[in-house]
Amino acid sequence: MRLIALVLGVATTLVSTIAGADNLSVAEVGSFHVGGRAVSLTGLPTRDVVFTAGSQPIKVDPNGDFEVEQMYVQYIKLAQPKARYPLLLWHGGGLTGVTWETKPDGKPGWQLFFLRAGHDVYVSDAVERGRASWARYPEIFSGEPLFRTKKQAWEDFRIGAVGSYKLSAADRVALPGQLFPTEAFDQFFKQGVPRWASTDTQIQAAYHQLVQKVCPCVIIVHSQGGNFGFNAALTAPDKVKGLIAIEPSGAPKPEAAGGGKLKAVPHLVVWGDYIAQSPLWTRFVPASQAYAAALRAEGGVADWWELPKMGVTGNGHMLMMDRNSDQIAQMIQKWMGEKGLMR
Amino acid sequence: MRLIALVLGVATTLVSTIAGADNLSVAEVGSFHVGGRAVSLTGLPTRDVVFTAGSQPIKVDPNGDFEVEQMYVQYIKLAQPKARYPLLLWHGGGLTGVTWETKPDGKPGWQLFFLRAGHDVYVSDAVERGRASWARYPEIFSGEPLFRTKKQAWEDFRIGAVGSYKLSAADRVALPGQLFPTEAFDQFFKQGVPRWASTDTQIQAAYHQLVQKVCPCVIIVHSQGGNFGFNAALTAPDKVKGLIAIEPSGAPKPEAAGGGKLKAVPHLVVWGDYIAQSPLWTRFVPASQAYAAALRAEGGVADWWELPKMGVTGNGHMLMMDRNSDQIAQMIQKWMGEKGLMR
């Protein structure tokens, strides 16, 4: 029996070396584009464009056949997932799926946290962001791209109070107790991408197609993604098995929850700190508050977490990047278990 | 002993279940942005922009502080890599790192092939593409974005002959024996992103920073990435341990290879089929041909593969997406082994 114990010991060591506590056994890594449409531009004039001062102009012909308004999705599937359904992570405005990856300070983000917790994880870029690509404007997209400034992000994301942003990192004063890694704020800003104010319909359409392609699933949405996620659940209540909205910037009208069609789809809304100090978020919160109340009135589950009231303080809008991001992820993981979303 | 054999059998089954032949034991999944610079725009006029016909205009203020010209890098690190160095995959023009991921027909691409072959794999988006983001023009980038048309891709990538592109997929005629999954051509096109003709300097600068951050490494480059990769090796011959150029669209001048500084850095240049039928590629090939010859004249290794001469026919420019992509990847894998790049 000592020999058997020895052999078992060797085998155990082998197992833990190959698939140790920190290692993931991954069945597949992959990606795809979904949604969108073919479009042809014709009859537009060609133009001469000078790309480098002093060089010959290049003739630019905007006409031709294109694919537009698709979104990009990347997945990592585990050999032995512990979650019942894949977990989809939908980012907010002016950002991409990078929101969920390694944090700006180099520490692991929620993608890796939820992989380690046993979920197949799908990280996506919405229409016009990142690897989803964007289309010529004003011919295809209307309006023009908006570029978020550092001041907007610093203040709107409640890292510092309104008026506290300065060009020099050393001069910026964060809100008291703020847990965003402010030393990595400029690094965070490298993740930003332009956005349009005219593409909500196209973004939502591609999300609907994504849900039809890969769900049943659980979805975590952030900020601008909130409204898209709420609508995805309303449109496919048989496919969306749980929705976690992190600081949603909007929500459907309460009437949309009528008929109790989301009774079987647990919702959770999570808010960080400093809301009362932010005119922007004070204005944004009521929409999802009213929507969550309507879900409950219809017999559904719509939990409402204001983290400071639960003893978790110091989180701004990008709480998945904050120093206590694992703590919040763990709370959400526990909620998913309680809602029967783990095996 | 039978009991021991039984225990060993159970242990082996356990190991193969947890980390089976098709499963990857992954130590870490992560990403980062590298390179770029802070820039401030001031004194530009605000403008009223109408985003949706009939709606109130939105005031757009282009001024503010931004981060620009960074690149995006995503990595998957194995628990037990068999390669000596991480493998970096650099895409071509008008595309992103998606080039290397799941193929447009849904089958595994080179990212997964080389992970399974034992490499830590880094897939990146060059400056201005995909998750790297892009900067306002003409204020920061000069010129304007160029959008590749389906006709350009169909013909320039040697999927069909010049003049064979049609709007309707059913009417397109591929080159005889073509191995690109033509039924997935429109799906492939969803991967395309706009490009500028004025950002080579910024792209190269970020690549140099990437090499300094993560190498020693081996790099596989494609098309426009060719020139960036050759220059990366010239600039950091101590960091780049091998360079594989897939259909490079350009190369440094042969004089750049002088002094034998790349003697210890094996190079491999790979070409698909139908080159002689393509005026574009007939014009592009000589630059890397002369450069490879110069590397050899200086005592270096610069292998030159014209796949049809090796009995592998039917490949166009996107050969990592062709039906025989695994066969070509396996040939490159064998070359890396022969060059001492595997453990």
Distance from CA of B153 to the nearest CA of A (A): 11
pLDDT by residue for chain A (343 residues), tens only, comes to: 455 545 544 444 444 444 445 899 999 999 999 999 999 999 999 989 888 777 888 888 999 999 999 999 999 999 999 999 999 999 999 999 999 999 999 999 999 999 999 999 999 999 999 999 999 999 999 989 999 999 999 999 999 999 999 999 999 999 999 999 999 999 999 999 999 999 999 999 999 999 999 999 999 999 999 999 999 999 999 999 999 999 999 999 999 999 999 999 999 999 999 999 999 999 999 999 999 999 999 999 999 999 999 999 999 999 999 999 999 999 999 999 999 999 9
What pTM was estimated for this model as a whole?
0.94
Q: Are β-strands B58-60 and B121-125 bridged in parallel, bridged antiparallel, or unpaired? A: unpaired
Closest CA to A100 of A210, A225, A194, A214: A225
Distance from CA of A138 to the nearest CA of B (A): 9
When CB atoms are compared, the residue of A3, A79, A111 closest to B20 is A79
Nearest residue of B to residue A77 by CA position? Answer: B23
When CB atoms are compared, the residue of B15, B63, B147 closest to A136 is B147
Q: Which residues of A touch B63 (CB under 8 A)?
A: 149
The radius of gyration of chain B from alpha carbons, rounded to an integer in Å, stands at 22
Closest CA to B320 of B160, B188, B197: B188
DSSP state of A119: -
Check A51 against B125: CB less than 8 A apart: no
Is CATH 3.40.50.1820 what the domain over B31-49+57-338 is classified as, yes or no? yes
Check A60 against B108: CB less than 8 A apart: no
Q: Which residues of B touch A115 (CB under 8 A)?
A: 29
Report the pLDDT value the prediction gives residue B58, as an integer from 0 to 100.
Answer: 84
Check A23 against B26: CB less than 8 A apart: yes
Q: Which residues of A touch B40 (CB under 8 A)?
A: 167
Domain extents in chain A: 26-42+58-338
**pLDDT(B8) > 80:** no
**pLDDT(B298) > 50:** yes
When CB atoms are compared, the residue of A19, A29, A192 closest to B111 is A29
As a whole number, mean pLDDT of residues B164-192 equals: 98
When CB atoms are compared, the residue of B30, B67, B192 closest to A133 is B192
Chains A–B, number of C-beta pairs less than 8 Å apart: 236
As a whole number of angstroms, the distance between CA A34 and CA B204 comes to 31
Q: Are β-strands A64-78 and A47-49 bridged in parallel, bridged antiparallel, or unpaired? A: unpaired
When CB atoms are compared, the residue of A70, A112, A151 closest to B29 is A112
Q: Are β-strands B64-78 and B87-90 bridged in parallel, bridged antiparallel, or unpaired? A: unpaired
Inter-CA distances, A45 with A14, A205, B52, B166, Å? 66, 31, 24, 21
When CB atoms are compared, the residue of B52, B64, B97 closest to A142 is B52
Q: Lowest-confidence range among A297-311, B13-27, B230-244?
A: B13-27
- Compare B1 and A83 and report the one with higher pLDDT: A83
Inter-CA distances, B188 with A29, B95, B100, B183, B316, Å? 18, 10, 12, 10, 14
Q: Which residues of A touch B130 (CB under 8 A)?
A: 130-131, 133
Mean pLDDT, chain B, rounded, equals 94
Check B36 against A190: CB less than 8 A apart: yes
Check A18 against B25: CB less than 8 A apart: yes
Check B125 against A134: CB less than 8 A apart: no
Report the pLDDT value the prediction gives residue B4, as an integer from 0 to 100.
Answer: 52
As a whole number, mean pLDDT of residues B104-133 equals: 98
Residue of B133, B144, B149 to mutate when probing chain A, most A C-beta within 10 A: B133
Check B19 against A25: CB less than 8 A apart: yes
Residue of A69, A133, A140, A199 to mutate when probing chain B, most B C-beta within 10 A: A133
CATH number listed for the domain at residues A26-42+58-338: 3.40.50.1820
Structure token pair of residue B157 = 């990538």
Q: Which residues of B touch A143 (CB under 8 A)?
A: 49-52, 58
DSSP B106-167: SS--HHHHHHHTT--EEEEE-TTSGGG----TTTTS-S--B---HHHHHHHTTSS-TT---S
Q: Lowest-confidence range among B45-54, B142-151, B260-269, B327-336?
A: B45-54
Please report the sign of the dihedral spanned by the C-alpha atoms of residue A70, residue A71, residue A76, residue A78. negative
Distance from CA of B327 to the nearest CA of A (A): 19
Check B51 against A14: CB less than 8 A apart: no
Q: Which residues of A touch B17 (CB under 8 A)?
A: 79-80
As a whole number, mean pLDDT of residues B14-32 equals: 75
**pLDDT(B32) > 70:** yes
Nearest residue of B to residue A47 by CA position? Answer: B144
The radius of gyration of chain A from alpha carbons, rounded to an integer in Å, stands at 22
Distance from CA of B240 to the nearest CA of A (A): 24
**pLDDT(B18) > 50:** no
DSSP A264-313: TS-EEEEE-S--TT-HHHHHHHHHHHHHHHHHHHTT--EEEEEGGGGT--
DSSP state of B27: E
Cα atoms found within 13 Å of the Cα of residue B250, Cβ hemisphere only = 10
When CB atoms are compared, the residue of B23, B29, B106 closest to A27 is B23
When CB atoms are compared, the residue of B25, B60, B151 closest to A23 is B25
Check B23 against A20: CB less than 8 A apart: no
